[in-house]
Structure 1
């Protein structure tokens, strides 16, 4: 039997639920082995796949009746509640780190920029999927506008929602950051992005699993290394639950 990478990831995610595998998954050596294989998977996929190859896009007849929210359903801070009540008119996306010109972009400004609309399938590590129509600003356009440095190897997304006692974050490398289907979405299915789906801005990085698609993005940081950020593994789930940093599909 041949398993796809998507099926294999789902199987590995379910492993802790299998009693007979408890000792194995609790072994630091086993987890380190899986993490080292992740790097091999990424290098192999990048070697044999065109870096600009597009994830499959669908037609409007393929849209799911509802697009199931994943992760948190909304930040709990009073600051976010105030922004939501004002229709995010005063929300600013900050762009900083290894850039020539730090930016603070309003939602009105972002919506005036050239946009991309794409109908794609969201694949969750929990085993479900949904097809949605996303509209947003290409991330490459924002990074070029800020003058991202050639030293930058990763883009970190700092979010308004919480993961335990800290703010949620995620990251991708420059290959995925500059991919044409990587956008900061502000629209879903022809309407403004709902709060439960990540309003006002949600990352769509279509060649990776759903937990990489950070919601409630409020700051983008260009960095050379992920080592000094939170747990150092590149994302909230990666730091706390041994999820793979590279979740390419």
Structure 2
């Protein structure tokens, strides 16, 4: 029964994300997804909250995503979303120096804001996991990820009791064309942030993380869909609400109609 419910949860997540992509493509029949007070959109958001609560109750906070053997890695990790933020001068300069000047910042509702170089992250105790990346476009890919458990970094920063969410700020931008480019960001709750498989990944399949896959650091939240795995992350911010970010929905794609939770 639990497998049936969880499969249904994944279907709902994929459906909401797919409808969101139709909004971006200009399909008029899905305009309600972009209207914050539309009753149909409000109904879908309530359904998302229900499935989020149901999955938390059924799966548990610390349940692990399935891990695989190296023999099950069939190909390189397929890039998704933005694959080259070199149009951003700061990122281009960092890449040119081999990310020697890169800093990952932990800010917001923490007692001790932190800043880590890539070398410092690489010298911390790391976790390696072979997991499956599931994209809303319908494909999946098994890969080996290496990085620092995010819980370690958050523990060092000492998260304040008022914090409810973690916002991940990235170097890449989305949009363009008729709309101005928007800085990419997404978010998670503290449960996913402190999950043992959530890592600040700097390695992929035994090598340094490539630019197309999010170098120098990508957050892996293994119990979530691909758009919740932010690339090119430079700042992790602890907050009590999303009100001051974008359209207040917790992420770039979330602002454009995708489900906030994005859980699998």
Give TM-score, length-normalised by structure 1. 0.93
CA RMSD of aligned residues (A): 1.6
Matched, 1:4 2:20: no
Cα deviation, residue 128, structure 1:
0.6
Whole-Å separation in 2 of the counterparts to 1:155 and 1:14: 25
Tell whether 2:159 aligns with 1:148. yes
What is the CA-CA distance between 1:49 and the residue it aligns to?
Answer: 1.6
Matches within 5 A, 1:1-249: 4-15=8-19, 25-27=30-32, 28-75=38-85, 76-164=87-175, 165-239=181-255, 241-249=256-264
Q: What's the CA shift string for 1:44-74, capped at 9, x where partnerless?
A: 1111222100000000011131211000112
Q: CA deviation at 1:229?
A: 1.4
> Alpha-carbon deviation of 1:9?
3.1
**8 Å contact 1:24–1:30 — kept in the other structure?**
no
- Spell out, residue by residue over 1:169-209, the C-alpha distance to the aligned partner (whole angstroms, 9 max, x if none): 01000010000000010000000000000000001000010
Extract structure 1 runs of 4+ deviating beyond 6 A.
Answer: none
CA–CA distance in structure 2, aligned partners of residues 100 and 86 of structure 1 = 32
Q: Shift of the alpha carbon at 1:12?
A: 4.3
The higher relative CO (CA closer than 8 Å, separation ≥ 6) is in 2
Q: Report if aligned partners of 1:25, 1:31 keep a CA contact under 8 Å in 2.
A: no
Structure 2 distance, partners of 1:55, 1:177, is 14
SS in 1 for 2:146: strand
Shift of 1:234: 0.2
Q: In the TM superposition, what is the alpha-carbon distance from 1:141 to its structure 2 partner?
A: 0.2
Alignment TM-score, normalising by the size of structure 2 = 0.88
Q: Secondary structure at the match of 1:181?
A: coil
